[in-house]
Amino acid sequence: MRGLVIKNTGSWYTVKTEEGKMIDCKIKGNFRLKGIRSTNPVAVGDHVVITPNQEGTAFITEIEDRSNYIIRKSPNLSKQSHILAANIDQAFLIVTTNYPETSTTFIDRFLASAEAYRIPVTLVFNKHDLLDEDELRYQHAVMRLYESINYQCVEIQASAEHDNDYSVEKLKPLLAGKVTLLSGNSGVGKSTIINALLPHVNLRTAEISDAHNTGMHTTTFSEMLELPMGGYLIDTPGIKGFGTFDIEREELTSYFREIFKFSKDCRFSNCTHTHEPGCAVRKAVEEHYIAESRYNSYLSMLEDKEENKYREAF
C-alpha cells in the first residue's frame, strides 16, 4: 500500500493511505542502515510504501523519491541532520519583531537553507498589534529589505477577528492547494496561527516567558494538517537556532540572492567576499546595495563552515 506520512512521534509514524485510512507504522529494522545520516530517516511529507500486519499497524518498507526536503543539524548530534519535512511546495517563516524578537541572522540562515533546497519562502510578520510606533517602523524597514530581494512579506495579527485587515484570512489564498512548512522560533505564534486557520485542531499555546522574552516549546513533533482550502500545513517544533547542514563554502554565495548577483563582478571567481582585492560584494555593502545585516549573516555562516572543517576531521 502507498501512503503519505502525516505525523511523526519519535518511533511511530502516522501514514494516510490512498484510501484515506490512518495507519500507525514503524520502520522495518534494516531500513535505518542505508547510509542515511539522519536522526529520522522517514520524514513528514514522505510518500511511502507500507506492509500492513495482523495487529492493524504496518511497516514502512520503502520511501519514494523526494522532490525536496529541508533539514537542519540535529540539536544534540552535530554530525547528523534532522529532516524537518519532505516534498514541500513552500515555507512560511513566522517572524516577530518583538515578543520574542526574531533575529535577522536567524531569518537569513533559514532563507539560505530554503534556497539550498529550492523551497520558496514567505516571511509572515506576526503580532502586529503588540508593536509601538518605533517597532512598527523598524518592522516595515525589515520588510522592505526582504521585499527588495524578492521575498514575499505579509503582516498579520494571528489573534485578530476575520474582518480585521491583519487577520489570518490574508494567508488563505497563499496556502490553498499547497504543502506549506510553517516554521519559526518558539513563541512567535505558530500554534495561534494554526488554531485561527483550523479551529478544530485546537493546538496548545504557551505564554511568552517575560524574564527572557522567549517562547516555550509547545509542539514537539512535526505534523501535516489538512487545510479546508486544499493542501496541507506542516507544523514543526519551534527552532531556537538553525544550524545549516550540507552547504559547502563555495555554494554559500549562491544562497544569498543579492550577494550572488554582485559576486559575478568580483575580480576572482573563487572570491569568498571577505578580504580579496577587487571584491564587488564588499564594495556593494559599502555602497549600501547589500544590507550589512545580510552580509554579516553570510559571514557567520562562512564561520560555521570554518569550524566544521576542523570538527569533521575527528
Q: What single-letter amino acid sits at 203?
A: L
Cα–Cα distance measured from residue 107 to residue 113, given in angstroms and rounded to the nearest whole number: 10
Burial track 174-190 (b if 16+ CB lie within 10 A, e otherwise): ebeebbbbbbbbbbbbb
Question: Does 202 appear as a known binding residue?
Answer: no
Cα-Cα-Cα-Cα dihedral sign, residues 132, 134, 137, 142:
negative
Question: Does 25 appear as a known binding residue?
Answer: no
Q: What is the DSSP letter of 64?
A: P
Question: Does 127 appear as a known binding residue?
Answer: yes
Question: Does 20 appear as a known binding residue?
Answer: no
CA–chain centroid gap for 6, Å, is 17
Question: Does 108 appear as a known binding residue?
Answer: no
Question: Does 190 appear as a known binding residue?
Answer: yes
Question: Does 273 appear as a known binding residue?
Answer: yes
Question: Does 3 appear as a known binding residue?
Answer: no
Question: Does 47 appear as a known binding residue?
Answer: no
SS3 167: coil
Q: At what angle do helices 292-311 and 104-116 cross, to 10 degrees?
A: 70
Question: Does 187 appear as a known binding residue?
Answer: yes
Question: Does 153 appear as a known binding residue?
Answer: no
Question: Does 195 appear as a known binding residue?
Answer: no
Question: Does 189 appear as a known binding residue?
Answer: yes
Cβ burial, residue 274 (10 Å; 0-12/13-18/19+): exposed
Residues tagged in the binding site annotation for Zn(2+) = 266, 271, 273, 279
Residues tagged in the binding site annotation for GTP = 126-129, 184-192
Residues tagged in the binding site annotation = 126-129, 184-192, 266, 271, 273, 279
